[in-house]
C-alpha cells in the first residue's frame, strides 16, 4: 500500500512537471505573439502619424503641377498649399491676406484699398490635424482601457 502511494505521488509530480513545461512553453509563445502584435501596432501607428503629418505639412507649404485634362491648349495646373498659394499671389505684386475658417481658407487680394474676396478652399492641414488628434486619442484610450482590463500583462525585465 505504501509503495502504491509513493508511485501515485510520483505520477502526480511527473504530471505537474509536464504541465509546468507545457504552460511555460505556451506563455513563451503567447508572449512572442503579443510582442509581435505590439510591434505591428506601433509600426502602423508611426506610419499613420507620419502620413497625416506629411499631409498637414503639404497643406501649408506644398506645391506641384499636374496636367489639366480637357484644357485647350493643353496646360499644367498648380496644386498649392495655403502658404504657397499666398506667396504665389504676393510674387505677382498683389497685397494679399490669408483668412482661415473651419476646414477652409481663402486668400483675399487688396487692390486700390478695396478688398476682393478670394475663393474658399478646403484646408487639408486642419483636416489632417483633426484626424491625427482623433486617431491618437482613440489609440491612447484603447491602450489604457486594454491595460485596465488586463489584456496586456505587466512584463518585468
Whether 33 contacts 44, CB under 8 Å: no
Cell, residue 4: 502504491
pLDDT in tens, 77-93: 888 888 988 998 999 99
Residue 156 belongs to some domain of the structure: no
pLDDT in tens, 61-80: 888 888 888 888 878 888 88
Domain that holds residue 137: 2-149
Which is higher by pLDDT, 22 or 139? 139
CA angle, 103 then 107 then 109, to 5°:
160
Contacts of 139 (CB under 8 A, 6+ apart): 45
Q: Sign of the C-alpha dihedral, residues 132, 133, 139, 143?
A: positive
pLDDT in tens, 6-49: 565 565 556 555 555 555 555 565 666 666 767 778 888 889 99
Least Cα distance to 79 among 55, 99, 102 occurs for: 55
Residue 157 belongs to some domain of the structure: no
Residue 154 belongs to some domain of the structure: no
State pTM to two decimals.
Answer: 0.63
Residue 155 belongs to some domain of the structure: no
Amino acid at each position: 500500500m505504501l509503495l502504491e502511494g509513493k508511485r501515485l505521488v510520483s505520477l502526480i509530480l511527473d504530471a505537474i512537471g509536464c504541465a509546468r513545461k507545457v504552460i511555460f512553453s505556451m506563455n513563451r509563445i503567447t508572449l512572442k505573439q503579443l510582442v509581435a502584435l505590439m510591434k505591428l501596432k506601433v509600426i502602423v501607428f508611426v506610419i499613420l502619424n507620419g502620413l497625416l503629418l506629411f499631409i498637414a505639412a503639404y497643406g501649408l507649404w506644398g506645391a506641384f503641377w499636374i496636367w489639366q485634362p480637357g484644357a485647350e491648349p493643353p496646360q499644367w495646373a498648380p496644386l498649392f498649399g495655403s502658404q504657397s498659394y499666398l506667396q504665389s499671389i504676393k510674387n505677382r505684386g498683389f497685397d494679399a491676406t490669408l483668412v482661415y475658417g473651419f476646414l477652409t481658407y481663402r486668400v483675399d487680394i487688396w487692390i486700390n484699398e478695396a478688398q476682393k474676396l478670394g475663393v474658399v478652399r478646403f484646408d487639408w492641414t486642419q483636416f489632417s490635424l483633426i484626424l491625427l488628434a482623433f486617431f491618437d486619442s482613440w489609440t491612447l484610450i484603447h491602450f489604457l482601457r486594454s491595460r485596465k482590463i488586463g489584456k496586456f500583462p505587466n512584463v518585468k525585465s
